Every structure is written in structure tokens, then in C-alpha cells.
Amino acid sequence: MRAALVQIAYGDDEPVTDRVARVAALVRDQAGHDLVVLPELWAPGGFSYREWETRAEPLDGPTAQAMSAAARDAGVVLHAGSIVERLPAVGADGRTLANTSLVFGPDGSRLAAYRKIHRFGFGAGEPRLMEAGTDLVTVDALGTRLGLSTCYDLRFPELYRSLLDAGTEVLVVPAAWPMARVAHWTLMGRARAVEDQCWLLACNTAGTHAGTTMGGHSQVVAPTGEVVAEAGPDEEVLSVDVDLALVPSTRESFPVLADRRWQGAPA
């Protein structure tokens, strides 16, 4: 499987409609790949909290439509990063927004939507403005099973164990992770790949918006822990061969997953 991670840089000056058109063109440029991955909230702005209400859109809104068309034109499976979704109904916490990742097939159909489970912001940002997702989401595509998670989710290894137990072989993680803690991003991405013996495709944001400098350093990590590709701090496309046979061969030759014993806290 040939994958492209498109690490997008943006600031505060680029209008959202221009950015959507620019990124759609970048996706089309990746024709020839099987899978293309974009970062979290690249259209509305990962840290542009004040704009989220006005930039929210439904699952079939303008960003989704542009990404569906780009996936079809490029003939790729597209993990389009996430949008600020305007929910069809008020959620359990009284919010009407969610941080929702979208995956499209080469025919432009939507294969999956994943609402970020762990909200980042410690009482502000996502917890104040958004509902938390409740559902584990995997996608069968390209002869493998993709497990979906978003940015801050990376700090919660139990989610990845559940994705593993649901048959995931490739962890796909879009993010808007700041430069200030980029060492955590790199370390935990590698840890998730090693502990779950999965491929990890982690696509971060670059540039500075809403006063926060993004960390870049998107990475592709093999189930063995080998870092196959790593981006720098600026806009960049990582183009990699993902050898899916490495998942069963790693699990067979170093069968640590077969030694799992702990099933959770005692009753």
C-alpha cells in the first residue's frame, strides 16, 4: 500500500474556502497513492476555538463535499482529517459540535465518520464547545483494517488496545499537536505502534494559527517500531510504502500480544 501524509501548514490569514480548494488540489496531486491522510481540523483551524461555531458544518457540508470529490478524482482512499461537525441534535453534554474525522473511498463515498473521544483543552476548547465521541471506529479498506483516533486520543493507550482487539492493523492519527509538546507526539506515536504491533500513520499540522505554533513531525512507524518516514516542521508530503505483511510477520516473530494477561481491574 502506498500512502501519502499531507502535513498542511496554515496561519490566520488564509480564508477557509481558499484553504479547502488548496488542500483539494494537494489531494489530487497524490494520485497514484492508495491512501492519503490529512491533519485534524485543518479547514476550521485546530486552535481557532472562536471560529468553530461559524465554521461548523454537517457531515455532507462544503469541506466534506470537496474532499469526496478530491478522493474520487485522485482515485484514493482519503482520510480527510477532521471537521467541526454541527451535530444533528444537541448531545448529552448539551453541545452541538463535535471533532469528526471523515474517510472517503476512491468513488467519493463516505466510508466512516469518527467523533474524537478524548476532548483536549482542560475545561476550555473542546470540552467546553464539543460533545465527546462514544464509538470506536475501524474501516476495512485496501485489504487491511484502519483504526481511527484523533490527536489527544494518542495519550490514552486503552483506546488503542480496543482498536487492536477490533482487528486494527493500521492506526491513522490526524492531529493539530503543538510544537511545545512535539516530543510527546513523537514518543507516544512510536509507543502505540510498538505496543500494538500496528503500522502508525500520524499526520500533524504545521504553521502558526490562533497564537499556537504547530509541531509538524508527522511520522510513519512500522509495527516493528522502525520510523519509516518523519516530516520536519513545515508543510511537507510524506510518501511511503506500507508493507501490510509486516503486521502478521511481526506479531508472529515477536508474539508479545499472545502473552497479554491483565484483563482490567478486579471487581
Ligand X SMILES: O=C(O)CCC(=O)C(=O)O
Q: What residues are labeled active site?
A: 40, 116, 151
Strands 199-203 and 170-174: parallel
Binding mask 121-160 for ligand X (x = CB under 6 A): ------------------------------xx--x-----
Q: Does 260 bind ligand X (CB under 6 A)?
A: no
Among 78, 176, 240, 247, binds ligand X (CB under 6 A): 176
Q: Within 34-93, which residues bind ligand X (CB under 6 A)? A: 46
Residue among 42 and 104 whose Cβ is closer to ligand X: 42
Grid-cell match 509486516, residue found = 246
Among 50, 181, 248, 256, binds ligand X (CB under 6 A): 181
Least separation in angstroms between residue 149's CB and ligand X is: 10
How many positions of this chain bind ligand X (CB under 6 A)? 10
Q: Does 22 bind ligand X (CB under 6 A)?
A: no
Where does residue 88 rank: exposed (0-12), middle (13-18), buried (19+ CB within 10 A)? exposed
CB atoms within 10 A of CB 32: 11
51-59, 80-88, 175-183, 252-260 -> range binding ligand X (CB under 6 A): 175-183
End-to-end CA distance of the chain: 44
C-alpha cell recorded at residue 35? 491512501
Q: Does 10 bind ligand X (CB under 6 A)?
A: no
* Kind and range of the H or E run holding 159: helix 157-165
Interatomic CA distance for residues 88 and 86, integer angstroms:
7
Among 42, 52, 160, 177, binds ligand X (CB under 6 A): 177
Edge-to-edge strand ranges of the sheet holding 227-230? 138-141, 144-148, 170-174, 199-203, 219-221, 227-230
Beta bridge partners of 174: 203
Q: Within 184-223, which residues bind ligand X (CB under 6 A)? A: 184
The binding site for ligand X (CB under 6 A) comprises 46, 120, 151-152, 155, 176-178, 181, 184
